[in-house]
Amino acid sequence: MTQMIINGKKVDSVSGRVLDVLSPVDGEKFSTIPRGDAKDIDLAVKAAREAVENQWKQFNAAERGRLLTKLSSKVLENLEELAQLEAKDTGKAITTARTDINVLARYFEFYAGAADKIHGEVIPFMNGYNVQVVREPLGVTAHIIPWNYPAQMLGRAVAPALAMGNACVVKPAEDACLSVIKVAEMALEVGFPPGVLNVVTGLGEEAGAALAKHHDINFVSFTGSNEVGVLVQQAAALNAVKCVLELGGKSAHVVFKDADFKLAVPTIVKGIVGNTGQTCTAGSRLLVQRDVYDEFMALLAEEFSKVRVGSPAMDLNCGPVVNKAQFNRVNKYVEQGKQEGLEIIAEGAIDENVPTKGYYVVPTLFKAHNHDSQLFQDEIFGPVLVAAPFDTEEEAIELANATDYGLMGAVWTENGGRQMRVAKAMKSGQVYINGFGAGGGVELPFGGVKRSGHGREKGFIALEELSTTKTIIHFHG
């Protein structure tokens, strides 16, 4: 049985209710978590408010940075334990889980260093005045995070918030939240005061909704589906609370005939099968110049057919997907692709020794003749890649932008002018040239345009999102 963290203590829900924790690896129950609701959220927000107005305020920027450094070290000391827990909870391959925990440590490390490097300004004004613009924390920040990268998402959300002196309430996904609780425990062990980092587990519609609409939060960040993101923004709007949304994507690779195929082929495969395709920045659409479409797709099919699916311990390219709903969702899209007449030109293989009750799906590569299928529009969130041809640079740009999403993109060409033209024309928050990293780079500003959301995370820009300015106008005569 796992407890959650409110006001520096491990606690059950007020109602005493719990939820089962099932592992996607074998479908077995291996723990329970508290089913927190509005009452628990209220306690957590009160604890955060108390901390941010009193004890946490006593810590200056360098001291906050030092605590984050300690937390980063603590995470690295416990890397293997955290990675095993993350793998069991989410189903991801153990190497992926280890990478995730390293990235979590990097978030704390990066923002530890940044904490005392955010300065205010002095503005020249009328004679007799001194005007200072100082940066202040927002107060209580709420963070609703998903199940695909629980540990990384925790770091992305709370590391900059804590660096700026906010106190946080985190609502992780019911499907995968154990690493998040563990790290909140570690934060207490290294000296974060009680109430600075609270974790309330429970259902999205109960605990998540109660957090988004709580009248005493000052900020909410959300990562997950578009539908729920819109609900979170509506709830935040009722209290005029700032909202940062990261709502996934349908990111395109654009491959021109002069691209370096040797570099592109393995990178494109990795960009869709990594984390079993359950990545907001997965490269899930492929556009290839018609002159080389068949040649390139044949090379890609060869690489794609090497993809293997197994349990986290088998440490193959893909694990199981996170739950039954995702299992059904991915299979439904594969079925739809077949019915629409898209050609399957390669499939990965599920290892014959996987537990029978786990949620293992077959990675699938579809080759289409045009970009019309719904599979080019919907975020499938599984190891399914759809490809279509294009003729000109202009058409490539038009197709790359022909979705509601705008999170990432990649252009593959050796032509320098074309690299920059296409990168500039892509409507997305990040663009790679001759490379692709799903997620990646805690230093790099990240977020979407269009229906992928708004606001920025990662990098120094997150510190601006998680703070506000005060202008002090001093008349000294």
Q: Which is nearer to ligand NAP, 138 or 142 (CB)?
A: 142
Q: Shortest Cβ contact with Mg ion: which residue?
A: 204
- For the chain, the straight-line distance linking the first and the last C-alpha, in angstroms and rounded, comes to 65
Map residues 77-106 to x or -, x wherever contact with Mg ion holds by CB under 5 A. Answer: ------------------------------
Residue 174 contact, options ligand NAP, Mg ion, none, Cβ 5-8 Å cut-off depending on partner type:
ligand NAP
Partner that binds at residue 232, options Mg ion, ligand NAP, none, CB closer than 5 to 8 Å by kind: ligand NAP
Nearer to ligand NAP, 212 or 396 (CB): 212
Which one is catalytic: 86, 174, 206, 246? 246
| Binding mask of the shown chain, residues 328 to 347, with x at each position contacting Mg ion by CB under 5 A | --------------------
Shortest Cβ 4–ligand NAP spacing (Å): 13
Which residues in the 363-392 window bind Mg ion by CB under 5 A? none
Is 53 marked active-site? no
- Binding-site ranges for ligand NAP (CB under 6 A): 144-148, 171, 173-175, 203-205, 208-209, 212, 223-225, 228, 231-232, 246-248, 280, 329, 379, 381
By a kind-dependent CB cut-off of 5 to 8 A, residue 447 interacts, out of Mg ion, ligand NAP, none, with none
CB of 152 to ligand NAP, least distance (A): 10
Pick the catalytic residue: 168, 177, 243, 280? Answer: 280
Q: Considering only residues 166-205, where is the footprint of Mg ion by CB under 5 A?
A: 204
**Binding positions for Mg ion, 201-240, rule CB under 5 A:** 204
**Can 280 be counted among the known catalytic residues?**
yes
Q: Of ligand NAP, Mg ion, none, which one does residue 231 interact with (CB within 5 to 8 Å by kind)?
A: ligand NAP
Minimum CB distance to ligand NAP, residue 381 (Å): 4
Q: How far is the CB of 465 from ligand NAP (least distance, A)?
A: 17
- Would you please indicate which residues are annotated as catalytic (active-site) residues? 246, 280
Binding site for Mg ion (CB under 5 A): 204
